[in-house]
Structure 1
Amino acid sequence: MLSSNQPSSIATFLSGRLLLQEEIPFPLSDSSDIQYLPGILTKHHRFFCQRCGNDQKERFAVFPCARCGQMCSYCRHCLMMGRVAGCSKLVRWTGAEPPHEGEGTLHWSGRLSEGQSAASHAVVEAIQRDGEQLIWAVCGAGKTEVLFRGIEAALLARKRVCIATPRTDVVLELAPRLQKVFPGVNVTALYGGSLDRHEYSPLVVSTTHQLFRFIEAFDVMIVDEVDAFPYSYDASLQYAVAKSRKSQSSLIYLTATPNETWQRECRSGKRPFMKIPARFHRQPLPVPAFSWCGNWKKAIEKGRIPANVKEWTVERLQAGKQALLFFPHIESMEKALPLFQKFHPAIEAVHAEDPHRKEKVALMREKKLPLLLSTTILERGVTFPNIDVAVIGAEDDVFTESALVQIAGRAGRSADFPDGEVRFFHYGKTKAMAKAAAHIRQMNKEGREKGWLDR
């Protein structure tokens, strides 16, 4: 435990952070470098949570508070990270940052494709000028490698870098990859339950939720999968990203599927962007095939799998080809799981609240699962080298154009296996399905026009 007569240790612990006073495991001194902020303010006759930015009346409540002895307001929106009440104090460090430890040289011998190289230069330039840049790259284009030179430039300039992503799975996959290519610095991974939560590091990979605990911490903020749920729908997560950046800093966005507003801004020149319409291995994106499967929900309720879904599954099992099968909802997936396990007992299912989620994804990577049923939790951020992909119930509202493009992007990512099959099983075609297929065809067309595809 740290003591109050260790200012450098206090700076290391608190620098860039915004923590509840009760989260700090040592007594605080009366240093002028420690600032106390009220947890909840009143702005324009409305409550405002200084940690998460919540100002929605229905997301506040009151409770009998033992600390202040009154009925005290508190923020329900970020309650899972510890209660911010009306009498709470948030603590931040306003003194000098601790010195960067380690050396930020990139150790990577790979080569970038033409598209990756152009995007990499754009990232470096944005970081050097503290600017903003969108990298619009197809699934499997190699967005992580595009960041390497920019991260190196930042670390060598003693800048602090954060890569923020909506999902824990992406943090768990990305952090060890970055640690491997930047062995001279300590890469910290922040997510719910993370052991790295109180470490100071010049290179941080974090879920967007964990950024509630930061303030003016980062010189470079990279937001991965900026279109993904929940970040794209939750203003408080966007507030957390903005709050975590220094006033002079760079902002890099990564996505395969920018929303329509951003696409218009790109076309009109209002948003700086770099587009990579082809994968690094120069093979086209698999275009999804549509297959009508009837009332699949009713079939599963009656204990059977639609005939063409069954045929697709058995073909993969017989060929020894791993596959992902996406469901719109947990309930229907869990009812279907025992039906699929009749084909092979090692078939598993995974969803966001699954306590064994990490282990199941690891088993899939180790090729110990022939087929993994999943909700949209695995639509992005995880890579299996040689898989086919299908969606059952592709007509469901949960499968937006963006989600379907991302799901299709799970197939054919490896240079050794670029031809994965994608199938959308449906009970009626939707605009989202048609737009997803058109999006993929358009990217392949642009890739060919640039000479970045071999076929």
Structure 2
Amino acid sequence: MRECFDKSILFGREVLKQELTEESDFTEELELRLETSTGFIKRNGKEYCRRCNAPVYPIEQNQCYCKQPCTYCTKCIQMGKVRRCSTFYHLPEPNIFQKAAEPILHWKGRLSSQQEIASEELVQTIKKNETRLLWAVAGAGKTEMLFSGIETAIRQNKRICLASPRVDVCLELAPRLKNAFPTVTMIVLYGGMEEAYTYTQLVVATTHQLYRFKEAFDLLIIDEIDAFPFRLDDSLQFASEKARKKESALIYLTATPDRIYQKKIKENKIQSSILPARYHGHALPVPVTVKENNWKERLLKNPMKTKVYRKILELLKSEKRFLVFVPNIKWMEQFECILREVIPKKKFESVHSEDSDRKRKVQAMRDQKLDFLLTTTILERGVTFIDIDVLVIGADDQIYTESALVQIAGRAGRSPDYPSGEVIYYHDGLTIAIKRAIKQIKRMNHIARSRGLIKNE
């Protein structure tokens, strides 16, 4: 690479040479300090990918430019192919940042008493380089509770990453963090991003992007730890550990911890802060269940005779905006066509994980330019819309876990100006997940009332 090569793009990162955008050779001076490592690690006679820690297996007739028997990792191939003959490049994290101008934190809002307590617990966790789980109901104001801790880390010249499994969550968090810390260097990392990577003190990233970091962060915050794919992917959890320094603070955020984390909290095996109420002091909307027999066929063949269709008309007539969750993309596309025939004059869109235009559609809903939005579980968490109701079609489908149903219900009633909202689970038979989701929401409301945190009833 050219002599003007910006070495900072390697600080705290572990990347392949082809992942770097600048062309040419490394300078001699840089090569003296550059740390290199092989693509694979051998343990107990087996090979593992250095980037994601997945086991690597031989691939027959694999052609490689090294002209030797070679293979590559199929687990993290979407990040670029890691071969046996690959070389990773790394420079240790030096914490050299452009000094942020005062005031560092520009947020002028006020925290509730329960938020203040949790915020201070987070600050102390960060100062002591410890681990803490923040269990806060959807709409409790988790992001705002992080601000003092992030400010503390910035003042201590620490490098900070806020990661989430979902791109939509990152895209919503980024502008809020930029507004709160406008003089702090920041970048947002996700698959398909348009801007080139630059070295910054604050990083917002999908958990997949953590693959490219090595001992970079003094503070790692992982939002939505129960979300797919992070919860079920050991390699992503490996990446999160690799991305933070040995001496660092780790904060987990969730509204719906799984039973493993709930047990750890109960047995005091992890420090935790629990917020059972929203900051505006109103109870969480409790979902109601509505039986919709044979919904998969009836909504496509004769929708006007269904309870779902009548509810949609009722909401449109009252000019109430709403989200409609459906269990899969194929069925949603069919249902969208039906709706465009029976309600042609209404403005609505559909979004899913493979939708390249998802960002624009979600923003249109946020800007109140749509009457409603059809969505898969891609919008179950991390997005906020003002004054909406929520309909879940086929809540009995196996895609809807207890966690997903609780998160979906949490899209309603988030704003202090519109703290209530209707949540309806349409089903063809109650499932354990539906029952547990409603029980969990009622339990959090009960705990909040017992603590005197719900004051607006």
Q: TM-score, normalised by structure 1?
A: 0.95
Once the two structures are TM-superposed, the CA of residue 426 in structure 1 deviates from its matched residue by 0.2
1:160 maps to which residue? 159
2:103 aligned with 1:102:
no
**In 2, Cα distance between equivalents of 1:72 and 1:110:** 57
Q: Structure 1 residues 95, 152: CA separation in 2 closer, same or farther (over 3 Å shift)?
A: closer
SS in 2 for 1:74: coil
* TM-superposition CA deviations, 1:337-366 (whole Å, max 9, x none): 012222144221110000110011011011
Once the two structures are TM-superposed, the CA of residue 66 in structure 1 deviates from its matched residue by 4.1
2:206 maps to which residue? 207
Q: Structure 1 residues 139, 62: CA separation in 2 closer, same or farther (over 3 Å shift)?
A: farther
> How do residues 49-448 of structure 1 correspond to structure 2 at under 5 angstroms?
49-55=49-55, 57=57, 61=59, 64-94=62-92, 96-103=94-101, 105-302=104-301, 304=303, 307-341=306-340, 342-343=342-343, 344-448=345-449
Letter in 1 for 2:11: S
Once the two structures are TM-superposed, the CA of residue 103 in structure 1 deviates from its matched residue by 3.7
2:25 aligned with 1:22:
no
Q: Does the 8 Å CA contact 1:220/1:249 hold for their aligned counterparts?
A: yes
**In 1, Cα distance between equivalents of 2:304 and 2:47:** 51
SS in 2 for 1:32: helix
State the identity as a percent.
44
**In 1, Cα distance between equivalents of 2:362 and 2:304:** 24
Once the two structures are TM-superposed, the CA of residue 304 in structure 1 deviates from its matched residue by 2.9
The alignment's C-alpha RMSD in Å is 1.6
Q: Does the 8 Å CA contact 1:34/1:95 hold for their aligned counterparts?
A: no
SS in 1 for 2:168: helix
Q: Does the 8 Å CA contact 1:21/1:89 hold for their aligned counterparts?
A: yes
Gaps of 5+ in 2: none
Q: Structure 1 residues 321, 359: CA separation in 2 closer, same or farther (over 3 Å shift)?
A: same
2:453 aligned with 1:452:
yes
Once the two structures are TM-superposed, the CA of residue 382 in structure 1 deviates from its matched residue by 0.5
Q: Which stretch has the larger CA shift, 146-155 or 80-89?
A: 80-89
Q: Which stretch has the larger CA shift, 132-141 or 44-53?
A: 44-53
**In 2, Cα distance between equivalents of 1:273 and 1:360:** 36
Once the two structures are TM-superposed, the CA of residue 64 in structure 1 deviates from its matched residue by 3.6
Q: Does the 8 Å CA contact 1:16/1:215 hold for their aligned counterparts?
A: yes
Once the two structures are TM-superposed, the CA of residue 392 in structure 1 deviates from its matched residue by 0.5
**In 1, Cα distance between equivalents of 2:350 and 2:307:** 20
Once the two structures are TM-superposed, the CA of residue 61 in structure 1 deviates from its matched residue by 3.4
Letter in 1 for 2:152: A
**In 1, Cα distance between equivalents of 2:372 and 2:93:** 53
Q: Does the 8 Å CA contact 1:61/1:75 hold for their aligned counterparts?
A: no
SS in 1 for 2:71: strand
Q: Structure 1 residues 128, 29: CA separation in 2 closer, same or farther (over 3 Å shift)?
A: same
* TM-superposition CA deviations, 1:283-310 (whole Å, max 9, x none): 0000000000000112144253661101
* TM-superposition CA deviations, 1:321-349 (whole Å, max 9, x none): 11001011111111100122221442211
- How many residues of Structure 1 are paired with residues of Structure 2 in the alignment? 449
**In 2, Cα distance between equivalents of 1:368 and 1:431:** 37
Once the two structures are TM-superposed, the CA of residue 70 in structure 1 deviates from its matched residue by 2.9
Q: Does the 8 Å CA contact 1:36/1:89 hold for their aligned counterparts?
A: yes
Q: Does the 8 Å CA contact 1:300/1:335 hold for their aligned counterparts?
A: no
Gaps of 5+ in 1: none
Q: Structure 1 residues 120, 35: CA separation in 2 closer, same or farther (over 3 Å shift)?
A: same
Q: Which stretch has the larger CA shift, 90-99 or 28-37?
A: 90-99
Q: Does the 8 Å CA contact 1:294/1:306 hold for their aligned counterparts?
A: no
Q: Does the 8 Å CA contact 1:188/1:205 hold for their aligned counterparts?
A: yes
**In 2, Cα distance between equivalents of 1:306 and 1:253:** 45
**In 2, Cα distance between equivalents of 1:97 and 1:437:** 46
Q: Does the 8 Å CA contact 1:15/1:98 hold for their aligned counterparts?
A: no
Q: Does the 8 Å CA contact 1:380/1:407 hold for their aligned counterparts?
A: yes
Letter in 2 for 1:309: V
SS in 2 for 1:115: helix
Once the two structures are TM-superposed, the CA of residue 225 in structure 1 deviates from its matched residue by 0.4
**In 2, Cα distance between equivalents of 1:89 and 1:270:** 39
**In 2, Cα distance between equivalents of 1:249 and 1:196:** 28
Once the two structures are TM-superposed, the CA of residue 29 in structure 1 deviates from its matched residue by 2.8
Letter in 2 for 1:46: K
Q: Does the 8 Å CA contact 1:303/1:339 hold for their aligned counterparts?
A: no
**In 2, Cα distance between equivalents of 1:62 and 1:194:** 34
- Over 4 Å off, 4+ runs: none
